[in-house]
Amino acid sequence: MSDESQNDADSSDAVSLEQRISRLELILTRLESDEIPLEQALELFEEGIAHVREAERVLSETQLRVEELLAGGKTRELDVDEP
C-alpha cells in the first residue's frame, strides 16, 4: 500500500464518516477507469475495504445508540474514534 493510502486507512480517528464515503467514491471512480495499473488498483481496493469496515463499525455503534434512545433506556457514551 502506498504511504498516502496507508496514512488514510490508518487515521481512523481523524476521518469522519462523510470523509470516508467521499474517499470511497473517489476510489470507486479510479477503479472503474481502465487506465489504472493493477498494483495501484489493488492498493486502492485495500484502502477502500478499510474505509468500508470502519464505516460499518461506526454505523453499527450509531444504530445501537439510536435503538437505546428509542427504547428509553440509558445510553452508553458513543466512542467512534477507536476500532
pLDDT digits (tens, 9 = 90+) for 36-51: 999 999 999 999 999 9
pLDDT exceeds 70 at position 78: no
Cell match 470523509: residue?
19
Q: Which three cell numbers stand for residue 29?
A: 471512480
Q: How far apart are CA 70 and CA 77, in angstroms?
A: 15
If you average pLDDT over each of 4-13, 48-57, 60-69, which comes out highest? 48-57
Query: 13-16 long-range CB contacts below 8 Å, 24 or more apart?
Result: 13/81, 13/82, 15/51, 15/54
Are residues 9 and 52 in contact, defined by beta-carbon separation less than 8 angstroms? Answer: no
Percent of the chain with pLDDT over 70: 70
pLDDT exceeds 80 at position 52: yes
